[in-house]
A and B are shown apart, each in its own frame.
Chain A
Amino acid sequence: MRATITFICFIITFISFAQNDFRVMKEVEAFKKNLTEKTAITNSIIAEFKQEKFMSILSQQLISNGTIKFKQPNMVKWSYTTPYLYDIVLNGNGIIIDDGGKVNEFSVGSSKLFSEMNQLIINSVQGNVLDATKFNITYLENKEYFAAVLTPIDKKQLGAFLSEIEIYFDKQDYSVSRLKLVEPEEDYTQITFFNKQFNQAISDEIFSKK
């Protein structure tokens, strides 16, 4: 029964991706090896991002923009600049939110869901998210991208909020170009990264409370 459901999910995923010329990835092991090598030599990433929220309630998608800074081993700062000023920092110890000047700090361990989301975000940015113990993974590719489609195995925590995570890797440099977070009700968030810079110096200070 479980195998049948997995097979049906795979077919649905495959059909929707086929519309964008995606096909089953030929060299999965080579892709994983190259991705691991790329992750190992990437100490930092600075990129701009465009976040688009698609929901049935919205007459048009909700767009926000900003910059993201990532530094090994596990520090990420998302800075939203339009249409609101909002920073969220994940620094390994906790989460710092600066909401237009109002700053709040939380411990990651205080919520299992937050903890999982935190890990997912950090791993996604690094491209180090292909954990078969937590996700059923389908590997696809087209001319421009490699894609990994992750379905959470635990439906109670992460799976209650996200039914699918699609990660698109640039074929040129194996960096993450696009993230699509699909909710159980089929609303989704798409984040596109551009103007990416690798291994630039980033001060640790930007990941701590001011």
Chain B
Amino acid sequence: MKFFLKSKILSIAFISIQLHSFSQEVEQLPIPYLSFNDTNVIYDMSMSYKKYYGSGLLVLKRQSKSNYHGVFLSKMGLKLMEFKIIDGVFVWKKMIQYLDKKSVRKIMERDFAMLMLSDVESAERIKKKTTKNDVMKYKVWSTRKLLLEVDDSNIVYIENRGGFNLTKTKIVFDNYEKNTPKSLNLTHNAIKVKLQLELLEQ
């Protein structure tokens, strides 16, 4: 009986410590660069794969919590891809036939979700790992496991972790101005595809 009581008290103490540390970490969540208002951001996006190089415009909008909208169009105005994240679920609205393959879709879904930081917003658990030179590292448990680096409340790096992860997505968010990164650089492990995004000044 004494042992049972002791272990009960210990587990309650453990749970409260866990809850306390979780709530602390939630308070430290970085500011998402896509805000809830009616505006969108437009990036000049270039893609290189071996000798191939192409570019277009990527329009991103965060409509409400867990609801996002994105369009990729050619510079001549032709819409090539359109997608939405509805209550955390990725939905393709349009996809150019040339890229319409299951494996490509899967990687792009992860890339775009990570670019818009939708996984961070819907995180089930966030745990602080280390702090080095003012950069804080976090582990995030969401639709996928993520490693996050935050500097001055802005996310500066994100990568997906765990499992058989040959095509890992790695994104560097750089050159922040008013909490919006002006440059983003997306690469993968084992695939020589590189995406470079520059904020379009209109």
The contact of A59 among B38, B82, B97, by CB within 8 Å, is B38
Q: Mark B50-65, 1 if CB is under 8 A from A, else 0.
A: 0011110101010000
Shortest beta-carbon distance from A68 to chain B in Å: 11
- Selected from A78, A113, A160, A187, the residue in CB contact (under 8 A) with B76 is A78
By beta carbon, the residue of chain B nearest A181 is B77
- Per-residue contact bits, chain A 76-117, to B (CB 8 Å; 1 contact, 0 not): 001010011010100000000101001010000001010001
Q: Which of A102, A117, A187 contacts B53 (CB 8 A)?
A: A102
In the docked arrangement, what's the CA distance between A80 and B57, Å?
14
User: Contact partner of A83 among B70, B82, B200, CB < 8 A?
Assistant: B200
B71 CB to nearest A CB, Å: 5
Cβ contact within 8 Å between B39 and A59: yes
Please name all residues of chain A whose beta carbon is closer than 8 Å to the beta carbon of B94 when the two chains form the complex: 185
Query: Which residue on chain B has the smallest CB distance to residue A110?
Result: B98
State the CA gap A99–B47 with chains docked (Å).
11
Q: Which of A1-9, A28-36, A50-58, A197-205 interfaces with chain B?
A: A50-58
Residues of chain A within 8 A of B76, CB atoms compared: 51, 78, 88, 189
Contact of A99 with B79 in the complex, beta carbons under 8 Å: no
User: Which residues 76-127 of B have a CB within 8 angstroms of A?
Assistant: 76-79, 82, 93-94, 97-98
Q: Is the CB of A86 within 8 A of B78?
A: no
Residues of B within 8 A of A63 (CB): 202
CB atoms of A104 and B52 under 8 A apart? yes
A64 at the interface (CB under 8 A from B): yes
B202→A62 contact, CB < 8 A: yes
Q: Is B202's CB under 8 angstroms from A55's CB?
A: no
- Work out how many contacts link A and B, with CB atoms closer than 8 A: 66
A57 & B40 in contact (Cβ 8 Å cutoff): yes
Given contacts A102-B53, A104-B53, contact A55 B79 (CB under 8 A): yes
- Closest Cβ of chain B: how far from A189's Cβ, in Å? 3
Asked, given contacts A102-B53, A104-B54, A111-B98, whether A58 binds B75 with beta carbons under 8 Å apart, the answer is no
Question: B69, A86: Cβ atoms under 8 Å?
Answer: no
Q: Smallest CB–CB gap between A101 and chain B, Å?
A: 11
A143 to B11 Cα, complex, angstroms: 83
Nearest-neighbour CB distance to chain B for A67, whole angstroms, equals: 14
Instruction: Across the interface, name the chain A residue whose C-beta is closest to B84.
Output: A57
Closest CB in chain A relative to B45 CB, distance in Å:
11
Question: A94 CB to closest chain B CB, in angstroms?
Answer: 15
- Shortest Cβ distance from B61 into chain A, in angstroms? 5
Alpha-carbon separation in the docked complex, A84 to B44 (Å):
8
- B59–A55 CB distance below 8 A: yes
* Interface residue from B55, B69, B79, B97 paired with A187 (Cβ < 8 Å): B79
Question: Does A161 reach chain B (CB closer than 8 Å)?
Answer: yes
- Interface flag for A183 (CB, 8 Å): yes
Residue of B nearest to A121 (CB): B76
CB of B46 closer than 8 Å to a CB of A: yes
Contact (Cβ within 8 A) A99 B202: no
Are A62 and B42 in touch, CB under 8 angstroms?
A: yes
- Chain A, Cβ-Cβ closest to B61: A57
Q: Of B78, B98, B200, which one neighbours A84 at CB under 8 angstroms?
A: B200
Which residues of B sit under 8 angstroms from A51, Cβ to Cβ?
76-77
CA distance A157 to B78 in the complex (A): 13
Which residue on chain B has the smallest CB distance to residue A87? Answer: B75
New contact pairs (7) apart from A84-B75, A191-B77, CB-CB < 8 Å:
A57-B69, A58-B40, A58-B59, A62-B57, A88-B76, A183-B79, A185-B82
A-B contact pairs, 16 of them (CB 8 A): A58-B40, A59-B38, A63-B202, A80-B75, A83-B201, A83-B202, A88-B76, A99-B55, A102-B53, A104-B53, A104-B54, A160-B97, A161-B78, A183-B79, A185-B82, A185-B93
3 closest A-B pairs by beta carbon, nearest first, are A189-B77, A86-B75, A99-B55
